Amino acid sequence: MNISAAAVRFGSLIAALLVATVALAQEPGYEPLSAFPQSPLSITSGETKHDFTVWVADTPSRRGQGLMFVKSLPPATGMLFVFAQPQGVSMWMKNTLIPLDMLFVAADGKVIHIAANAKPQSLDTISSIGLVTGVIELAGGEARRLGLHTGDRVLHPAFGKGR
């Protein structure tokens, strides 16, 4: 039986997501990542489109939990925090065990600020520096590795005409 390369890549992505989900400590009062909705998301930077699978933090409790207690984050995965109205957003890294890049995204899908390599377990405030309806968290260093910049466009139903 021949298995296509796409099927192998898809299987690898599913396995990586399961590893990340298992890496979430079962802390009392926290929802396992496997219960969060998942969604495809793309970021267009210049002529290059980067595809991700993200967990969606779409409720106050999910936004409060975020990627707390996650021990690793596979490439091409992340978390999207969604807010109903444009607002200034401040975040911190309490109980977050890995460095993260935070991309703050305006309602039209434009990245307005990138906070790179946020320090694990820090209580320092990281602010959006403008009104946003979303924040994307990626593994620390991923934005630089992919060449992501402010002004890049996020393609997801939470932004722009998809709203």
Q: What is the mean pLDDT of residues 128-139?
A: 97
Q: What is the mean pLDDT of residues 48-63?
A: 97
**Residue of 111, 58, 102 whose CA lies nearest to 81:** 58
Helix (H, G, I), strand (E, B) or coil at 76: coil
Which CATH number is 5-162's, of 2.30.30.90, 2.60.120.1140, 3.30.70.20, 3.40.50.1100?
2.60.120.1140
Question: Residue type at 90?
Answer: S
Burial zone of 107 (CB within 10 Å; 0-12 exposed, 13-18 middle, 19+ buried): middle
Q: Tell me, what's the pLDDT at 30? A: 84
pLDDT of 125 higher than 80: yes
Helix (H, G, I), strand (E, B) or coil at 110: strand
Q: What is the pLDDT of residues 92-108, one digit of tens each?
A: 999 999 999 999 999 99
Q: What is the mean pLDDT of residues 49-70?
A: 96
Mean pLDDT of the chain: 86
Global pTM reads 0.82
End-to-end CA distance of the chain: 43
Cα–Cα dist 93/15, whole Å: 26
Q: What is the pLDDT of residues 6-45, one digit of tens each?
A: 443 444 444 444 444 444 444 557 899 999 999 999 999 9
